[in-house]
Structure 1
Amino acid sequence: MDEKQAIETAAHEAFLPTLNALVFAYHAYRSYADAHIRQLGLTASQFDVICTLGNTPRMAFNKLAQKTLTTKGELTGIIDRLEKKGLVRREVPPNDRRSFLAILTPEGEKLFEQVFPAHIEYLKECFATLEIEEIEEIRLAIEKIRSLFP
């Protein structure tokens, strides 16, 4: 098979429309969600950290990086900016002085209590036309797609 035939064959793979739909759905979601997050005065990454920490008293940087799908290097910059805003503080755990814990300040907790429910309500509008069963079917399909990738 020559290069042109290989490209033509690849372009007709049965999974490509599904993959394209997934990518376009993700981009539509990010665009919609990020617009609201910007109105709240945060970046998407900052919002993610605030919401992740809002459900726990404190979290180690490496675990926070995993939960927010950021690298530890990116997370350091995000935490730096949130510290400057007075929303997050760092703490050195007594049993491991080489690592840090991230903790919401009282101001950060207050912000979490305001922005998290507001953002969920904002997103809920998108799903209002779907039945509970449809939402569950979509979730299961997305989880199945996720399981395909190592």
Structure 2
Amino acid sequence: MQIKIIAVGKIKEKYLREGVAEYEKRLRPYVKLQILELAEEKRPTPSPDSAETIVKKKEGERILAVIPSGSLVIALDPQGVDWSSQELAEAFWRWEIAGEGPLTFIIGGDLGLSPQVIERSEVRLSLSRMTFTHRMARLILLEQIYRAERINHGEPYHK
């Protein structure tokens, strides 16, 4: 299975970079993974609502420009479905059987995703009802993809 993660912003924290690298390594036997980092749009501080709307729109345009054609797009969105790890594994299984692919996960910047990106996605996925930074979301997503692959391969995982 091919998985692409499009993420706005670079991970600055060493511990998160190390965690991402670890899960990239763990995923190698299961999926072909590509992570594409897009630059965060600069904005004035403090940032009025109108500026934030423009930022989300510009970041959204850059995201939409790099989504591979024919991919199934999964947008990380706090308002999305909140699947369990088992349900995510089942979705992966269905998508693989159906020949969907590649899977493209989208992680927005700190302001979230533009309405255009949300509209382009086939699935809106929430990682939790709790709030995480967009940088932490990348690590959490990779861990959940790894967990789903372990489940689907009948390998042990921590419940």
Q: Do both proteins adopt the same fold according to a TM-score greater than 0.5, normalized to the shorter chain? A: no
Which protein has greater RCO, CA pairs closer than 8 Å, 6+ apart?
2
- Of Structure 1 and Structure 2, which has the larger fraction of its residues in strand? 2
TM-score (norm. length: structure 1): 0.25
Task: Return the structure number with greater helix share.
Answer: 1
